[in-house]
Amino acid sequence: MFIQTEATPNPATLKFLPGKEVLADGTADYRAANEANGSPLAQRLFEVGGVSGVFLGPDFISVTKADGEWQHLKPAILGAIMEHYMSGAPALDSGGTNDAAGVNYDPKDEGVVETIKELLETRVRPAVANDGGDITFHGFRDGVVYLHMRGACAGCPSSTATLRGGIENLLKHFCPEVQAVEAVAQ
């Protein structure tokens, strides 16, 4: 098994590409070992000292480090991913992802929210997945779109620029009702 790695805009996060499907549907984000009970893969990765976050995407795994150098952590992470795939265990036990469910908006804004979700799904999420992260809709109130930053996007130094310069401008262009975009803690 050959696992590729890619740097992300977040220096604390590396993206691992196992060359196999990770999750068939959705994503799963774990910010601590005690959150990873439903994921044998995430549990195994948290056993590597220095790992502080695991994000599972369709065909990639983003790992965030708390401390240590990548040159020391990377071999142990690669070994844990290989062991997981060789064990035949699923990435998630019950197939349940922990995607954020976004229903925080006024029903009269349904049309605007659908446009926002469509833009996020078709233009934003594929781009940030390339960088090992994800952005999900959380809500829309009084012209402000609230988004969850996940994986490599969570805690990334350039996430504010991504929100303001990229996503906010895109949403404002297609939805004049959007006045601002803000990240919310998951």
**Interval 94-150: pLDDT, tens:** 655 555 554 578 888 889 989 999 999 898 888 888 888 888 888 898 899 888 888
Look at residue 103 in the predicted model and tell me its pLDDT.
Answer: 58
Lowest mean pLDDT among 29-33, 134-138, 168-172: 134-138
Q: Which domains does the chain have, with CATH numbers?
A: 4-87 (3.30.1370.70), 104-184 (3.30.300.130)
pLDDT at 102: 46
156 pLDDT higher than 70: yes
3-class state of residue 23 by DSSP:
coil
Strands 51-56 and 133-141: unpaired
In angstroms, how far is CA 107 from the centroid of its own chain?
27
pLDDT digits (tens, 9 = 90+) for 38-71: 899 999 999 999 999 999 999 999 999 998 899 9
Contact 55, 134 (CB under 8 A): yes
Q: Give the span between the Cα atoms of 15 and 60, in whole angstroms.
A: 7
pLDDT exceeding 90 applies to what percent of the chain?
42
| pLDDT winner (highest mean) among 5-19, 121-135, 140-154, 161-175 | 5-19
Residue that has been written with the tokens 């990770």 in this structure = 22
